[in-house]
Every structure is written in structure tokens, then in C-alpha cells.
Amino acid sequence: MTGERTVLEIASGALGDYYDWLQGAANGDVLVYWHGSLQYDRQVVIAETDVMRTEDRERIRSLNMVADRVLKDAKSGSLSLTQLRLGEGIYEYRATRRRQSFGVTPVVNHDNLVLA
């Protein structure tokens, strides 16, 4: 059983889009929230004085907000985090919705995935 796959665009408003997805997602639905190297990409610093790269700076801020929230929601049990390796040092970061059903163990398909 595979859920619906959604790709989140990391830009202004991405955190709101994430909350909308989380609220409406069914058990097993997958949100792809980043492509690349999350550990590296979150550490990029662009000076506030570099006005030519304002959009890049805002995108990194949005990425950090979404990644922090995804991690908190995963720790609370609402999500299962996985990574799909696309190439050397390049991953697709996925959050799979877990609806809590007491007394029933949720089934999440982890074929070809690496646990985050």
C-alpha cells in the first residue's frame, strides 16, 4: 500500500504548505521536502548585505524552518522520516504520514530507503 506522493516547494510560505499537507495527509502519504544534502544545505550562510542573493537566503531560511518542524513532528510520532539516495551525496528527503491508531501497528513501506 503506497500513499500519495507530494513534493513541497521550499520557498516563502513553505511552512504553511507543510502544515496544510500534514493536516490533510492520510496514513502512508509521502511528502518530499528536500532534494540534495540536507546536512550541508542547511549550513549555507549568505550575508544579509548580499542583496543579489536575497531569494537564496530566504529559501535557506524556509528550508531550516520546514526541516526543524518535520523533525519535531517525527519525534512526536506523526511522521516517519526516510531518505532515498539519488546519487553520490544527493538524497530525496521524505516524510511519511503516520496516523496514530492505538492497538494497531502502522505499516510503512521502506523499500529502497535509508532511515534518516
* Tens digit of each residue's pLDDT, the chain (116 residues): 567 999 999 988 999 999 999 999 999 999 999 999 989 888 888 777 777 777 888 889 999 999 999 999 999 999 999 999 999 989 999 999 987 655 555 555 656 666 66
Q: What is residue 101's predicted lDDT score, i.e. its pLDDT?
A: 56
Greatest distance between any 2 Cα atoms in the chain = 54
Number of compact structural domains in the chain: 1
Q: What is residue 85's predicted lDDT score, i.e. its pLDDT?
A: 94
CA nearest 19: which of 27, 28, 31?
31
- Domain range for 48 is 5-115
Query: What residues are paired with 90 via a beta bridge?
Result: 87
Q: What is residue 56's predicted lDDT score, i.e. its pLDDT?
A: 84
Q: What is residue 35's predicted lDDT score, i.e. its pLDDT?
A: 93
DSSP 25: P
